[in-house]
Amino acid sequence: MSADSDARQESPYHEELGQHLDKSKTAMIVVDMQNAFLSEEGSMTLGGMDITDLKKTVAPVVRLVDTCHEANVPVIFTRYVLRADYKDAGLRSERRAEFKRINSLVTGTWDVELDRRMDAQPVDYILDKTRYSSFYNTSLEVILRGLEVDTLIVCGVTTEICVESTIRDAYFRDYKIFVPEDAVAAMDAERHEGTLKTIRYGFGTVATSEAIIKALEA
């Protein structure tokens, strides 16, 4: 029997997940849990968007982050950050021109800072990006190779945009993916549910945050 076969057999099976999850080979990506998306004073609200469902992710994400810290599972926070002149924003500067006028997601502003409840630790990674996917033009892939992980828990906002883009790019790189359904959210429930249905079908395992936490604590 090959070493790979041995590793697969030894990887713990978790009844709550219905899947194997080896926390020693796992990292968590927390997508864009920043003031812009989670505060009523943030630029999404100022731009006329409803962040009600986004705010509901804070408590489960915090529990996941705390559990990962306790279980020595690496945590990687991403932030959507753009230049003040939006020269690095690409098509966003056309499709969301109103956000440029209100300094949305501009580097160095309160808007791009992580929500203080995330309690990022010095050991965590904070990765700035200018596109939806956390892999695009960032060092994420290099970090994951250095961590020698093969499994990712992906949470954060928004489900159908930055979370889904990150999951797709992770899947293309052959990472096993777990998504806590109550720790991701969109501004539209139909888009949120549609994306979770797509992830279940083609990209990874969707479970509750509690089921993932139990697996990490085991």
* Residues acting as catalytic residues: 32, 129, 162
Residue 174 DSSP code = T
Among candidate residues 6, 17, 68, 8, the one with its CA nearest the CA of residue 181: 17
Task: Name which of 76, 30, 27 is nearest 216 in CA terms.
Answer: 27
Q: What are the structure tokens assigned to 90, written together?
A: 């690409």
Q: Do 81 and 89 form a contact (C-beta atoms < 8 A)?
A: no
Q: Name the maximum alpha-carbon separation found in the chain.
A: 61
Which among 177, 178, 179, 175 is positioned nearest to 145, based on CA atoms?
Answer: 175
End-to-end CA distance of the chain: 27
Q: DSSP state, 25? A: G
